[in-house]
């Protein structure tokens, strides 16, 4: 069997694979980029971009519900044509996909190999059409896919995932969303706002990826007034004689037209011949790897992106791709610092998680500050004064550790906090920064004041004192 030889083979032309290539390509090494399935990245095709397009439509349409307060006449009569809305989402999605493809794989010749790859040895791949590629270094950037339990596959088109939802030309009248994590909440709320009767279920007692009990309670209180959310019970689905689906969780049963399964994502690793790597796997079947080098054991193999199963977000896929790409084209393996964790859920209000996770904090050494959004002036003006911001710091030093929040403009506040944490700032140092009036950042300022009152290290100039030249 004839083999092609290259310095670096990258498996997967998603975001992580393309970022890996951005490091390998300028190095002058020979390479191939192998992709099975649709090119164009999960982010652009079925992830970040179409979901944010749908959320935008839903938010704009939902805004009509406050217009009556200002005396805007006729707002009750506003109506949304769902097929047109879905075409709009699909048009935007196509623009993003076209942009990715035309800037990446479109101009590649033989270096772009279409097909699914599997390992025959740590330096040898076989493509599903029989071609073989031997490479000095290999990057696995094969992404992830939605989990669908085997028994649920029998429900055919009545059971959809994020791979299908943006493809719909019309929306069902009733839908159960199973899984109230980031994706389930974002889509559940948007589809509810577009007029679908939504029921949310999750077997956990937490939602939106949050761990802080105060934040979880506030999420349920805030979003649970929009559509029913049932937590704490595993869900069962059965087919009704009329073709609809009966969804039960605990004592709650609903009959719906369709179910959206949003119960998590699984790394695309099966059928990849990992047994030929001879490496240890974690309980999810992911090869053990170093998160600072992305190297699998001491093999010439690197992981990047969702397939690593660590932080399933775009900017982390980008960083992991760059780290894996750098090490795949270098003689020496180099470790790189990882960024402060930052997760944003774009439901309204935004749910954000920054820095050290709540469950990892040591209650004995951690101070917590908080503010509820109810009295915050700017939030009141926006008609969005619901939510809570909780910020965590090391009690002794005042060093900021993390935060969880559900708040309007959380996407912006979470960035400020992530940047502060990554810079190693204390809560006092953050409070020395300017805060304009009236802005949502003032809510963060109030949470930080509360936190400051509970930390032990205070320096002149931290709050109201002027800082001497
Ligand atoms: C609905 C939704 C909303 C999201 N919203 C956000 C958001 O707002 N912000 C954010 O940061 N993140 C968001 N994400 C997550 C983000 O999209 C992913 O983290 C990111 O796209 C992962 O990129 P990747 O390169 O790891 O995988 P992918 O882009 O999936 O690339 C993997 C590629 O590998 C190919 N492949 C698989 N197996 C093989 C094989 N054996 N051989 C060859 N090729 C193979 C696949 O077909 C695919 O083309 C969202 C995800 C979803 C589903």
* Mean pLDDT rounded to a whole number for the chain: 96
Q: Name the strands in the sheet holding 245-249, side by side, starting at the edge strand that comes first in the sequence.
A: 235-239, 245-249, 252-256
pTM summary value: 0.97
Residue 464's pLDDT is 63
420 C-alpha to ligand 1 centroid (Å): 29
Question: From the CB of residue 110, how many other CB atoms can be counted at a distance below 10 Å?
Answer: 7
Across the range 252-268, mean pLDDT stands at: 98
Across the range 250-275, mean pLDDT stands at: 97
d(CA 422, CA 432): 17
For the cut 80, the answer to whether the pLDDT of residue 310 exceeds it is: yes
User: Is the C-beta atom of 112 inside 6 A of ligand 1?
Assistant: no
3-state secondary structure labels for all residues of 161-194: CHHHHCCCCCCCCEEEEECCCHHHHHHHHHHHHC
Residue 187: both structure tokens together:
């889509």
Residue 468's pLDDT is 72
pLDDT tens for residues 381-434? 999 999 999 999 999 999 999 999 999 999 999 999 999 999 999 999 999 999
pLDDT tens for residues 30-82? 999 999 999 999 999 999 999 999 999 999 999 999 999 989 999 889 999 99
pLDDT tens for residues 421-455? 999 999 999 999 999 999 999 999 999 999 999 99
User: Is the C-beta atom of 198 inside 6 A of ligand 1?
Assistant: no
Instruction: Judge residue 458's burial from the number of C-beta atoms within 10 Å of its C-beta, 0-12 exposed, 13-18 middle, 19 or more buried.
Output: middle
User: Is the C-beta atom of 116 inside 6 A of ligand 1?
Assistant: yes
User: Is the C-beta atom of 420 inside 6 A of ligand 1?
Assistant: no
d(CA 278, CA 300): 12
Across the range 129-151, mean pLDDT stands at: 97
Question: From the CB of residue 338, how many other CB atoms can be counted at a distance below 10 Å?
Answer: 14
User: Is the C-beta atom of 342 inside 6 A of ligand 1?
Assistant: no
User: Is the C-beta atom of 17 inside 6 A of ligand 1?
Assistant: yes
Q: 168-179 burial, b for 16+ CB within 10 Å, e for fewer?
A: beebbebbbbbb
190 C-alpha to ligand 1 centroid (Å): 21
20 C-alpha to ligand 1 centroid (Å): 14
Instruction: Judge residue 363's burial from the number of C-beta atoms within 10 Å of its C-beta, 0-12 exposed, 13-18 middle, 19 or more buried.
Output: exposed
- Least confident span in 69-73, 134-138, 167-171, 232-236: 69-73
According to DSSP, residue 340 is labeled P
pLDDT tens for residues 204-234? 999 999 999 999 999 999 999 999 999 999 9
For the cut 80, the answer to whether the pLDDT of residue 248 exceeds it is: yes
433 C-alpha to ligand 1 centroid (Å): 37
Residue 455: both structure tokens together:
């930390």
User: Is the C-beta atom of 269 inside 6 A of ligand 1?
Assistant: no
Q: Indicate the pLDDT class of residue 465, thresholds 50, 70 and 90.
A: low
Cis peptide before 370 (omega within 30 of 0): no
pLDDT tens for residues 179-188? 999 999 999 9
Across the range 241-269, mean pLDDT stands at: 97
Across the range 158-165, mean pLDDT stands at: 98
Ligand 1 atom showing the smallest separation from residue 144 Cα: 30
For the cut 90, the answer to whether the pLDDT of residue 461 exceeds it is: no
User: Is the C-beta atom of 117 inside 6 A of ligand 1?
Assistant: yes
For the cut 70, the answer to whether the pLDDT of residue 25 exceeds it is: yes
The percentage of the chain sitting over the pLDDT mark of 90, rounded to a whole number, equals: 96
């Amino acid at each position: 069997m004839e083999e092609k030889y290259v310095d670096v083979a990258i498996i997967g032309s998603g975001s992580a694979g393309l970022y890996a290539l951005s490091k390998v390509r300028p190095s002058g090494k020979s390479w191939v980029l192998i992709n099975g399935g649709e090119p164009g990245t999960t982010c652009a095709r079925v992830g970040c971009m179409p979901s944010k397009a749908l959320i935008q439509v839903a938010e704009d349409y939902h805004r009509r519900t406050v217009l009556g307060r200002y005396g805007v006449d006729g707002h009750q009569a506003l109506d949304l044509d769902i097929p047109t809305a879905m075409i709009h989402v699909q048009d935007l999605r196509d623009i993003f996909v076209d942009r990715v493809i035309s800037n990446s794989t479109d101009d590649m010749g033989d270096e772009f190999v279409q097909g699914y790859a599997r390992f025959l040895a740590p330096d040898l791949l076989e493509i599903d059409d029989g071609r073989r590629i031997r490479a000095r270094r290999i990057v696995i950037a094969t992404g992830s896919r939605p989990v669908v339990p085997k028994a649920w596959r029998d429900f055919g088109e009545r059971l959809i995932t994020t791979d299908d939802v943006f493809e719909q030309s019309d929306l069902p009248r009733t839908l159960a969303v199973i899984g109230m994590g980031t994706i389930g909440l974002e889509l559940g709320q948007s589809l509810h706002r577009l007029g679908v009767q939504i029921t949310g279920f999750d077997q956990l007692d937490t939602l939106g990826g949050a761990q802080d009990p105060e934040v979880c309670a506030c999420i349920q209180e805030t979003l649970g007034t929009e559509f029913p959310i049932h937590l704490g019970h595993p869900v069962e689905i059965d087919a009704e004689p009329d073709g609809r689906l009966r969804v039960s969780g605990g004592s709650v049963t609903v009959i719906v037209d369709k179910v959206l399964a949003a119960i998590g994502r699984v790394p695309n690793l099966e059928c990849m011949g990992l047994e030929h790597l001879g490496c240890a796997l974690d309980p999810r079947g992911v090869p053990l790897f170093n998160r600072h080098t992305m190297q699998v054991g001491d093999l010439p193999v690197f992981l990047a992106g969702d397939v690593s199963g660590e932080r399933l977000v775009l900017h982390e896929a980008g960083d992991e791709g760059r780290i894996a790409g750098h090490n795949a084209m270098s003689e020496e393996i180099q470790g790189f610092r990882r960024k402060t964790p930052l997760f944003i859920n774009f439901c309204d209000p935004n749910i954000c998680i920054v820095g050290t996770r709540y469950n990892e904090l040591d209650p004995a050494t951690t101070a917590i500050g908080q503010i509820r959004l109810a009295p915050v002036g700017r939030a009141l003006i926006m008609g969005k004064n619901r939510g809570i911001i909780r910020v965590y710091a090391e009690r002794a030093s005042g060093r900021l550790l993390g935060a969880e929040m559900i708040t309007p403009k959380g996407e912006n506040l979470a960035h400020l906090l992530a940047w502060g944490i990554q810079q190693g700032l204390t809560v006092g140092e953050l409070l020395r920064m300017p805060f304009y009036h009236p802005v949502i950042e003032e809510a963060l300022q109030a949470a930080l004041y509360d936190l400051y009152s509970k930390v032990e290290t205070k320096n002149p100039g931290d709050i109201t004192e002027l800082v001497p030249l």
